[in-house]
Chain A
Amino acid sequence: DAKTTQPTSMDCAEGRAANLPCNHSTISGNEYVYWYRQIHSQGPQYIIHGLKNNETNEMASLIITEDRKSSTLILPHATLRDTAVYYCISYRGTSGSRLTFGEGTQLTVNP
């Protein structure tokens, strides 16, 4: 599974878009990019994933660069409840894979 790097922390004003970057320059062709977030003392929450194309769901949008070496998670209108640690991981997505969460990005949404 490819290693990912993310900024340690980011701040965002409530109501504004939060753009969280992730570098996965060693990603393999069959690996997906997944985003999870974790609020203290809760389990990681799945947000979105993609392979090549940009993706959007009710929670967020995922923009993957054409060379697939980086991606950006976009929370279009951040709320205080979006304050969490966000993890970007890249793996093939078969259940046999062993997830490795790095340090993630601590996103703080300020009022």
Chain B
Amino acid sequence: KAGVTQTPRYLIKTRGQQVTLSCSPISGHRSVSWYQQTPGQGLQFLFEYFSETQRNKGNFPGRFSGRQFSNSRSEMNVSTLELGDSALYLCASSLGVDRVGSPLHFGNGTRLTVT
């Protein structure tokens, strides 16, 4: 069974640009969550999608947005990039919001560098 796939693996952008990251969950998984990981802040929750609906959102500015498609694949978008957005962006999938005990499975992330 294929794991969570994130593309691209690495990305370099300049300030002010926008970026779109993609995530394909494990087959059968309907919930997708996004996290930002930095050395100083650790793992921080961005948002979660289930059945194409955003279920939870973390404390990030509106420049960070996401969506989920009918096949459960998800994208996140960051507009007007800032230097502080440089981070490892992780996507995780799980079976669903009502499946207590269902673990999250992470992709290997997209390393975004903003210059």
Chain A: residues with CB nearer than 8 A to chain B?
Answer: 30, 32, 34, 36, 41-46, 49, 51, 92-96, 98-103
Q: How far is the CB of B72 from chain A (nearest CB, A)?
A: 12
Interface of B is mostly: strand
Q: Once A and B bind, how many residue pairs between them come within 8 Å at the CB atom? A: 69
Contacts of B48 in A (CB 8 A): 95-96
Do A95 and B106 touch (CB < 8 A)? no
Q: Looking across the interface, which residue of chain A has its beta carbon closest to that of B43?
A: A101
Cα A45 to Cα B3 in complex, Å, equals 11
Which residues of chain B are within 8 angstroms of A42 by Cβ–Cβ distance?
Answer: 108-109
Residues of B within 8 A of A101 (CB): 42-43
**Interface size class, chain B:** 20 to 34
Rounded to whole angstroms, the CA-CA distance of A45 and B92 in the bound complex is 10
The residue from B50, B58, B111 contacting A98, defined by CB atoms under 8 A apart? B58
CA distance A93 to B94 in the complex (A): 10
B57 (CB) vs chain A CBs: closest residue: A98
Which residues on A sit within 8 Å (CB–CB) of B88? 41
Contacts of A49 in B (CB 8 A): 101, 103
B82-99 interface (Cβ within 8 A of A)? 88, 90, 92, 94-99
B106 touches A34 (CB 8 A): no
With the chains together, A28 CA to B31 CA distance in Å? 24
A51 to B58, CA, bound (A): 26
Who on chain A is nearest to B49 by CB? A95
User: Are the C-beta atoms of A99 and B35 separated by less than 8 Å?
Assistant: yes
